[in-house]
Amino acid sequence: MRSTLNPAQREAVEHGEGPLLVVAGAGSGKTRVLTTRIARLIEVHAVPAQAILAVTFTNKAAGEMRDRVGRQLGREPAGMWIGTFHGIGARLLRIHGAHVGRTAEYTIYDEDDSLAVVKRLMGRCRISVKEFAPKAINSEISSAKNALVDPPEYQALARTPLAKAAAQIYNLLEATLRGANAVSFDDLLALPVRILHEQPIVREQLQRRFRHVLVDEYQDTNRAQYEFVRLIAAAHGNLAVVGDDDQAIYGWRGADIRNILDFERDFPSARVVRLEENYRSTAPILSLANDVIVRNAARRGKTLRPTRTGGEPAVLLECADDRDEAEAIADAVQQWRTSRGALRDCAVLYRTNAQSRAMEEAMRRAAIPYRLVGAVRFYDRREIKDLVSWLRLIANPADDEAFRRAVGAPKRGVGETTLELLGLEAREASIPLLEQARRIDTIGGIRPATRTALLDLVATVDRVRALAVDASVDQLLVQLITAIGYDNALRNEGPEGLDRLDNVRELVTSAAEVIIDDGGEVGLRPLDHFLQRAMLVTGLDQLGPEADAVTMMTVHTAKGLEYPMICVTGLEDGLFPLARAFDDPATLEEERRLLYVAITRAGERLLISWAHQRRRNGELLPCTRSSFLRGLDVAHFEKRATLKLRGSARLASPNASLFSSSGSGRFTNEDRNFKPRLPAWSPRSSEQVSSFIQDEDASQDTPSFVAGERVRHAKFGSGAIAEVSGGGKDAKVTVDFDDESVGRKRLVIAFAGLRRDFD
């Protein structure tokens, strides 16, 4: 056991009594240290297994820890408590729940149960679910519990309308849960801490029982978790924590990096051991990771050192736009498959789930199997299915299933009873539900508000359907989203709703790309082309974890994982880092730690990409390379450009392969004198919060044509312009093409790629 450890690992394992902080860099063998230390405490120091408490964050990690300890001991560590914070908390509540009004048979409410209670209490307090989403109220209360803020303190601190509404519910919630002999998931942390604070006999009993407390991923602990382990270890000081402040990326959900940065504050005699030898990544990848993270001020400081020899430089890939980026990533994966053979060794990482749409479609076009981790496929997401149902109804008014979904997206006070009555009348008249809704005045027993809601739905479908004959699908979507107030409905859902709103914007972009795929042509029904593509995508089978497929996920989801090849996408200011980070130095440092986490997932090959333009709401907007990439040592990567970008003469880089050995990798002076310029579409930016639709001024880059001009189209050949209409990004031309099989086409100028034909 001892001979296989490096010196730093051995120091951490052999530490005896007293507090211990192990600062464990990425890929440095922290789990091995933790489990070996537990085994040594039992075998060498004769600590009974039942006197050890080991806490981590996931059931998978806890199971792995128990298995490893068992293998090292050659037997099951019977009596030892190994589990997640919530699992340990639940166990303690079964024993000591009477102190907080619970019996051993208490019920744990899941999110749906908790939301149901919140909704009932909102009704009792006459708080409108339309004004404040129950999920947003529940999220506020959850954050308060994890920060150990009780109802009176929360009420005193409440400033915003949402917080004040949440305070009313929070005041009633504990009594309601106690009366039902139930706890929420957050109570599994908050209530044990309350018991430890208020019941000295219980606290002393647990302190005598657990003579050694070990915590994994300590940088991710929140206030409640910190207090829990501190109180149990306070008497003997035998607290060993393992973590990496450079991988603290969960501040947005309550994790407090100060717990690991200020460990010696509560335990002045603590020994600090740094694990800096990395067993995962090659030297070039680690050099880049070190260069990125050293710019953070709030860190303990360490430098990862490789144990592997050789390795190719990381690639910084410059792309023309997001579609070009996705296609380049697919090409890079194909290159990996050709040279190495296994797609399961590749992972594509992005900052937000909304970015997956372009990647999914690029992989599908390239016939590359892929699977999403931590998210559903883009076209299977609730908000996307809602809006696609509206589009289906607009395209086909006889689609009753689309009507049933659209009528509740967003909710408009039309319940199941009304729908059943509407369906019965429609069947008797042999007409679709939409047509029956048009005749709602012929049905008795319908409330006036419900009648109005249904007639508004009919009017919206009629209005947008009239536009669908000629308008592009992205225009239809923007009109539709505004008309039904879908954007506002999502905002009322709180943080989760804002994530969904990002996906809605990406759907608008997807719709705009239908025109690009068709060479700018707007035929009789562009909506039909879009729906066909969307429905084919939703029919794809989900691939299991054993399939030879590329893995795609957010960087947050990737934490703790590793792959031989990693592609990190969307490194642009406003996206990675997010726009809101520029207003808060602590958030900006967390975003930089997130990039560090992404880089250190890679074992052999690393590609980081950014795009000059990215589509948002169907409009192509300029981007600026992420400030995180500026000022880095050029020796740590090679700069590449996609074929599309090189073809546009933006860069003069002759490299044929993304991973060839040539290329200067140098930045210009402009890079070093950088001041961030955020695009208007930046996620969570004030422009987005104020309105879904951005100002759409006429683009100065859109070429202008006049009737009678000769033009050439890449797909349809040469022809003469018969008519020009519209303006800005919506300008269109009607062209009579020379090829009789092509004939007359109507094209969107911005997407058609027309050139003047001087021949």
Residue type at position 74:
G
Task: Mark whether 247 is an active-site residue.
Answer: yes
Which residue has 């440092």 as its token pair?
Answer: 589
Three-state secondary structure call for residue 375:
coil
Measured between alpha carbons, how far is residue 293 from residues 589, 634, 638, 739 in Å? 9, 16, 19, 59
Residue type at position 256:
D
Give the distance, in angstroms, between the CA of residue 144 and the centroid of all CA atoms in the same chain: 23
Measured between alpha carbons, how far is residue 462 from residues 247, 469, 482, 641, 740 in Å? 52, 12, 15, 47, 36
From 9, 30, 436, 746, active-site residue = 30
Joined together, the tokens standing for residue 244 give 């990496």
Residue 92, Cβ density class (10 Å: 0-12 exposed, 13-18 middle, ≥19 buried): buried
From 9, 247, 509, 613, active-site residue = 247
Which residue has 């501190």 as its token pair?
Answer: 230
Helix (H) or strand (E) holding 603: strand 602-616
Q: How far apart are CA 659 and CA 608, in angstroms?
A: 12
From 601, 614, 729, 745, active-site residue = 601
Mode of pairing for the β-strands spanning 370-372 and 550-554: parallel
From 174, 187, 217, 345, active-site residue = 217
Task: Mark whether 633 is an active-site residue.
Answer: no
Q: How far apart are CA 618 and CA 696, in angstroms?
A: 10
Count of Cβ atoms closer than 10 Å to residue 236 Cβ? 16
Question: What are the phi and psi torsion angles at 748 (to 5°)?
Answer: -85, 120
**CB distance 52 to 212 below 8 Å:** yes
From 187, 216, 227, 360, active-site residue = 216
What are the residues whose beta carbons fall under 8 Å from the beta carbon of 547, sequence distance 6 or more?
Answer: 344, 369, 371
**CB distance 330 to 365 below 8 Å:** yes
Compute the CA torsion angle 400, 403, 405, 406 (nearest 10 deg).
Answer: 170
Task: Mark whether 400 is an active-site residue.
Answer: no
Count of Cβ atoms closer than 10 Å to residue 611 Cβ? 28
Q: How far apart are CA 604 and CA 314, in angstroms?
A: 9
From 10, 14, 31, 562, active-site residue = 31
Joined together, the tokens standing for residue 259 give 């717990």
Q: How far apart are CA 108 and CA 184, in angstroms?
A: 6
Q: How far apart are CA 575 and CA 626, in angstroms?
A: 8
**Degrees (nearest 5) of the Cα angle 308, 313, 319?**
145
Q: How far apart are CA 615 and CA 617, in angstroms?
A: 7
Residues in the chain: 759
What are the residues whose beta carbons fall under 8 Å from the beta carbon of 296, sequence distance 6 or more?
Answer: 246, 589, 592, 593
Q: What is the DSSP letter of 621?
A: E
Using only C-alpha atoms, what is the Rg of the chain? 29
Q: How far apart are CA 12 and CA 355, in angstroms?
A: 41
Q: How far apart are CA 422 and CA 429, in angstroms?
A: 11
Active-site positions read 30-31, 216-217, 247, 601
